[in-house]
Structure 1
Amino acid sequence: MRKLFVSNLASLDGYIAGPNREIDWHNVDGEYESYGVKMMNSSGAILFGRITYDLMAGYWPGATDNNPEVTRKMNELPKYVFSNSLQSVSWNNAHLVKEPMESFVRKLKEEDGNDIVLLGSGTIVAQLTALRLIDEYRIFTVPVLLGGGIPAFPPGFGRTGLELVSSREFSEGNVLNTYWVK
């Protein structure tokens, strides 16, 4: 059975994007890129909500300023997009999911293969947290206060007990905390 994990960057005050959906504050350095390569190489699929999909599909197909291995994996891996408003998706190997999220994710987790990563997509994170379908949270705290924006964990789920399994400080100030669901 595959594991579903979240990998997100969040400001110290808990936002994954600024008030205008900006992510220019993300602290991405060589250490973070190394993490990204390992993460992508151990992933067998990516989950997105519509907003994150639009952002990623607008960047990765033509990306030239990023690690080539991460770029290749972002473009090759199967991507599953949860959206009520999209009618189609065009990014390579992207699939629009119209069936109920819970049953789709349960089936996906039961398949053989590498783990599944959920990137960005705060609303999807909240919904899958409420369904107790997320096995691990990898949250990078970026040393910045945004004062508002899109919360890393929007309302909509009950208390969820977590166990801190590792913490790593990066040289540029990011801190990666990895939690398992109790």
Structure 2
Amino acid sequence: MRKLFVSNLVSLDGYIAGPNREIDWHNVDGEYEAYGVQMMNACGAILFGRITYDLMAGYWPTATDNNPEVTRQMNVLEKYVFSNTLRSADWQNAQVVKEPMGPFVQRLKEEEGADIVILGSGTIVSQLTELRLIDEYRIFTVPVLLGGGVPAFPPSFKRAGLELVSSREFSEGNVLNTYWVK
């Protein structure tokens, strides 16, 4: 059985993107990139919502200013996009999923293979959390206060208990906390 985990950067005040969906505040350095290489090499698939998919598909296919191994993995991994409006996905190895998310993700998790990651995609994270399909949360707290933007979880979100299993401070101030679902 495959594990489904989230790997997201979050501002200290709880946002995954700024008021205009900007992510220029992400604190990405060589140490973070090394984490990214290791994480992506352990994954077999990525889940996206439409908004995050559009952002990523607009960047990664032609990216030249990033770690080449992360760029390669972002392009070759299987990508599943949950969207009611997107008709097709043009990014390599991407497909739009029109069926209900819960049963689809449960089937993916039951397949043999490497783990599945969700990057960004706050709505998908919230919905799959409520369905209790996410096994692990890897949350990078970035030392910045945005004062507004896209919350990591919406105000209407229902409480979910988590257990802290590890914490790691990165040299540029990011802190990676890894949680398992209780």
TM range (shorter): over 0.9
Structure 1 runs of 4+ with >6 Å offset: none
Task: Report the equivalent of 2:71.
Answer: 71
Equivalent residues, number: 182
Deviation at 1:165, TM superposition (A): 0.3
Give the 3-state SS of the residue equivalent to 1:92 in structure 2: coil
2:156 and 2:132 mapped to 1: Cα distance? 12
Contact 1:130 1:156 in 2 (8 A): no
2:115 and 2:96 mapped to 1: Cα distance? 19
TM-score (norm 1): 0.99
2:9 and 2:179 mapped to 1: Cα distance? 14
RMSD (Å) for aligned C-alpha atoms: 0.7
The reply to whether residue 136 of structure 1 matches residue 136 of structure 2 is yes
- What are the residue-to-residue correspondences of 1:9-158 with 2, within 5 Å? 9-158=9-158
1:72 and 1:99 mapped to 2: Cα distance? 28
How big is each residue's C-alpha offset from its partner over 1:91-136, in whole Å with a ceiling of 9 and x where there is no partner? Answer: 0000100000000000000000000000000000000000000000
1:7 and 1:131 mapped to 2: Cα distance? 18
1:80 and 1:11 mapped to 2: Cα distance? 26
TM-score (norm 2): 0.99
Moved more, 150-159 or 135-144: 150-159
Identity %: 84
Deviation at 1:51, TM superposition (A): 0.4
